[in-house]
Amino acid sequence: DQQVKQNSPSLSVQEGRISILNCDYTNSMFDYFLWYKKYPAEGPTFLISISSIKDKNEDGRFTVFLNKSAKHLSLHIVPSQPGDSAVYFCAASDIRNSGNTPLVFGKGTRLSVIA
Amino acid sequence: DVKVTQSSRYLVKRTGEKVFLECVQDMDHENMFWYRQDPGLGLRLIYFSYDVKMKEKGDIPEGYSVSREKKERFSLILESASTNQTSMYLCASRRAMSPLEQYFGPGTRLTVT
């Protein structure tokens, strides 16, 4: 049973527009969330994170929003650039038990930014 | 900067061979992980280790084993490679306590023929 779901396997966006990637989770114990970006033939790289005490975290063109009541988070990329084309993974953890517990990953969303 | 290195970027092995994938991290991280990535299936956890000589099964441990004799090194072993183990293998490490970011190596593309 998937605890972290990314229901859109792929997304296409025009350059300069906003990209919105969505992620839903089922485990109410999750209180820390992360986004990773992965290019082909490379390992994932950490992008941005958010703790459940916040509902928004911003880093340059990237903003993550967290809606705890809906168990939903989203990653906004504004403006989108061709170099943002990659697979994006959402991940979650329960900080209180995090010491020896792996992150739980979604299956990823492939973003294509079209010039 | 955290550095996680993997012994090979590309590997081709024959069915039945024993395969060793090595991972080394240079940041004194306690936790280390092995994943495989397949199209449509995302990142699936094979094994992880939260300390030296400790290991825990992940979601898909069958056909794999691991070894962690030193803190910086975590090895994944395919006892008898099969074609369904053709995949991208990713190693990761992180500190046991916050922050929780895992740092990934570049991956090994393994093909079993």
Per-residue pLDDT tens digits for A14-54:
999 999 999 999 999 998 999 999 999 899 999 999 999 99
Average pLDDT (B69-87) is: 97
Inter-chain touch B101–A49, beta carbons under 8 Å: yes
Nearest CA in chain A to B93: A102
Partner residue opposite B96 with nearest CB, options A42, A44, A99: A99
pLDDT given for residue A97 in this prediction: 67
Average pLDDT (B22-30) is: 94
Does residue B96 have a pLDDT over 70? yes
Cα separation, B58 vs A100, in Å, equals 12
Partner residue opposite A103 with nearest CB, options B41, B100, B109: B100
pLDDT given for residue A94 in this prediction: 83
Inter-chain touch A34–B40, beta carbons under 8 Å: no
Inter-chain touch A43–B106, beta carbons under 8 Å: yes
Cα separation, B85 vs A80, in Å, equals 36
Cα separation, B81 vs B87, in Å, equals 11
Cα separation, A75 vs B82, in Å, equals 38
Inter-chain touch B41–A89, beta carbons under 8 Å: no
Q: Tell me which of B40 and B99 has the higher pLDDT.
A: B40
Tabulate helix, strand, coil % of chain A (nearest 5). 10, 50, 40
Cα separation, B79 vs A24, in Å, equals 37
Least confident of A5-14, A61-70, B1-10: B1-10
CA torsion angle for B94, A27, B41, B91 (degrees, to 10)?
Answer: 10
